[in-house]
Chains A and B, each alone.
Chain A
Amino acid sequence: MDFKSSSFMYILGFGVVLFVLVQSTFFLVRAIKRGKELGISSQKMKSTALQSALFSIAPAISIVATVIVLSSALGVVLPWIRLTVIGNLQYETSSAQAALNAMGNSAGISAAITSPEQFSTVAWVMTVGSVMPLVILPFVLKKLQTGIGKAVGKDKVWANLMSAAAFIGLICAFIGRAILGTGDKNADIIGDGAGTLSITGLLSSVAFMLIFTYLIKKIPKLQKLESFAMPLSMFLGMGVVLLVNHFLPSAYIVEWRY
């Protein structure tokens, strides 16, 4: 058996999964208890959990796809561990590539690693390169949150507006990227730039969400479905992308390149 996918590696993988599940459950149980003390209804908390779960399904499948991208070079387990904690595709690819290049391996992640020394160097670089947030969080987060708390205490309306503005700024970045973002002209990667399909996905999910918002407002019986509206709009938007990709002549399916 390939050493990169040995039972030892799987034990490490399941150990990390167990840690993440226990930590998440710990904070989840604490939050639910506090929510009950604050008088937040069980229905609201259940809807939040359900909506969050629905929202996570498609991106999680997409993360599995990134494990596949890296598995040809690194085996399946190390990318699985890395993408379960901290990581994302852009970081993991760059750090694996940087580690291999440092060892004079010019093929990088496009070829399978056969040497345990190279494999362990990649694991070290990927891990140490990614832990910076965990090093600084314990020192800065409380101070940061206390500062925010003081600002909120001075003017609650201003604080609420600023909080909404920060979310909107972030959303605008992704919406802008879906409209005018360009992909690398030298790399033949579908989806790295905006184009016909990204704009289709964006506009159709916007349209579905507006329709759901209108219907939920007009028909009281539908209010129970409010927490499904956003995830459902996302899935329907993805469905429209598939239809357009299937029926639109390929000449019209373009992506902006630089």
Chain B
Amino acid sequence: MSDYFNKTHTWGRIWTAAALAIFLCIPVAISVHFNAWPKAEYFFKGLAAVAVIFYPTAVIEVISYAPLLGAAGTYLSFVTGNIANLKLPCTISALETTGYSATEEEGEVISTIAVAVSSIVTTVIIALGVLLMSVTGFITSITSPDSPLYPAFQQILPCLFGAIGAGYFYKHYKLAVAPLAVILIVLAINGGIQTGILIVIGVVTALLATHLMYKGGLLTKKDGGFDE
């Protein structure tokens, strides 16, 4: 592991610890400022309902997303959130366009740039949106169900993953057949299944099928999109 990777982990740990401390200070500050502390009974009852679902999900997300986002990208993404709908699409498209793999150091650099820029742009837009909303109600007017733009905002994810998927499937079509087929079968049986579970099913199927096809001699390095 290179010196850059080692230092990335050191800095990542420092920033993550700082983020954790700052985020926990927010409810403390609210409680102190308003002199309103939660009753332990209500807090633990509310937390239990959330933790039973979201704590195991957090573990699964860290394991599933870390290999895709790179080291710095993972530390940053888990601070700013919105990983599946923002940070991963940005990383995937950046690696796809530049031609680097997530497993090489150049890919680590590119994914870090993609995630960092996405975090900055998103944070600034949300802050501006909140200010605009507070002052003029502008954002409310373009995203409300009465807005003519509302149907487009409801379909961001299909449009986003359509654009990414087209480029990716064009290069790696052999790898896409098994996961897409399995996902469609699963959805035909239970269409209400959560996206988080679908991602795990899709990734595990894709990894298994690719491994078996590679061992069976059905894939070459060109199928991974790397011609060198």
B139 lies within 8 A of A172 (CB): no
B29 lies within 8 A of A12 (CB): yes
Interface hits, B197-228 → A, CB 8 Å: 198-199, 201-207, 209-211, 214, 219-221, 223-226
Residues on B with C-beta less than 8 A from A254 are none
Number of interface residues of A (CB under 8 A): 163
In the complex, residue of chain A having the shortest beta-carbon distance to the beta carbon of B101:
A160
How far in angstroms is the closest Cβ of chain A from B209?
A: 7
Interface hits, A50-89 → B, CB 8 Å: 51-53, 55-65, 67-68, 71, 76-77, 80-81, 83-88
How far in angstroms is the closest Cβ of chain A from B145?
A: 7
Query: A67 vs B113: C-alpha distance in the bound complex, in angstroms?
Result: 26
A64 lies within 8 A of B126 (CB): yes
B15 lies within 8 A of A160 (CB): no
A162 lies within 8 A of B118 (CB): no
B126 lies within 8 A of A199 (CB): no
Query: A130 vs B119: C-alpha distance in the bound complex, in angstroms?
Result: 18
A59 lies within 8 A of B122 (CB): yes
> Majority SS of interface residues in chain B?
helix
Interface hits, B133-183 → A, CB 8 Å: 133-134, 139-140, 142-145, 148-170, 172, 175-176, 179-180, 183
Query: A67 vs B109: C-alpha distance in the bound complex, in angstroms?
Result: 32
Q: A31-B112, A206-B163 are in contact. Are A136 and B59 (CB under 8 A)?
A: yes
Residues on A with C-beta less than 8 A from B122 are 56, 59-60, 63
Query: A206 vs B223: C-alpha distance in the bound complex, in angstroms?
Result: 20
In the complex, residue of chain B having the shortest beta-carbon distance to the beta carbon of A182:
B191
Query: A163 vs B139: C-alpha distance in the bound complex, in angstroms?
Result: 38
A103 lies within 8 A of B118 (CB): no
Q: A84-B123, A137-B74, A144-B63 are in contact. Are A52 and B114 (CB under 8 A)?
A: yes
Residues on B with C-beta less than 8 A from A182 are 187, 191-192
| A-B pair number, CB within 8 angstroms | 590
How far in angstroms is the closest Cβ of chain A from B28?
A: 9
Query: A119 vs B221: C-alpha distance in the bound complex, in angstroms?
Result: 55
Query: A26 vs B16: C-alpha distance in the bound complex, in angstroms?
Result: 13
Q: A91-B54, A168-B206, A170-B88 are in contact. Are A34 and B4 (CB under 8 A)?
A: yes
A163 lies within 8 A of B102 (CB): yes
Interface hits, B34-83 → A, CB 8 Å: 34-39, 42-43, 45-47, 49-51, 53-55, 58-59, 61-63, 66-68, 71-72, 74-76, 78-82
How far in angstroms is the closest Cβ of chain A from B218?
A: 11
In the complex, residue of chain B having the shortest beta-carbon distance to the beta carbon of A37:
B4
How far in angstroms is the closest Cβ of chain A from B160?
A: 5
Residues on A with C-beta less than 8 A from B207 are 162, 165-166, 169
B163 lies within 8 A of A48 (CB): no
Query: A187 vs B186: C-alpha distance in the bound complex, in angstroms?
Result: 22
B164 lies within 8 A of A171 (CB): yes
A165 lies within 8 A of B209 (CB): yes
Q: A55-B118, A119-B36 are in contact. Are A178 and B90 (CB under 8 A)?
A: no
A26 lies within 8 A of B168 (CB): no
Q: A145-B71, A226-B97 are in contact. Are A130 and B54 (CB under 8 A)?
A: yes
A53 lies within 8 A of B118 (CB): yes
B97 lies within 8 A of A26 (CB): no
B22 lies within 8 A of A16 (CB): yes
In the complex, residue of chain B having the shortest beta-carbon distance to the beta carbon of A190:
B154
In the complex, residue of chain B having the shortest beta-carbon distance to the beta carbon of A127:
B27
B13 lies within 8 A of A178 (CB): no
Residues on A with C-beta less than 8 A from B176 are 168, 171-172
Query: A179 vs B133: C-alpha distance in the bound complex, in angstroms?
Result: 34
Given contacts A31-B116, A133-B62, A205-B163, 6 further A-B contacts (CB under 8 A): A27-B112, A51-B94, A88-B82, A128-B47, A161-B221, A180-B187
> What 5 A-B pairs have minimum CB-CB distances, sorted nearest first?
A191-B154, A182-B191, A169-B206, A205-B162, A64-B129
12 residue pairs from A and B, CB less than 8 Å apart: A27-B75, A45-B109, A58-B153, A80-B130, A99-B47, A123-B27, A134-B16, A136-B59, A161-B224, A170-B68, A171-B202, A191-B151
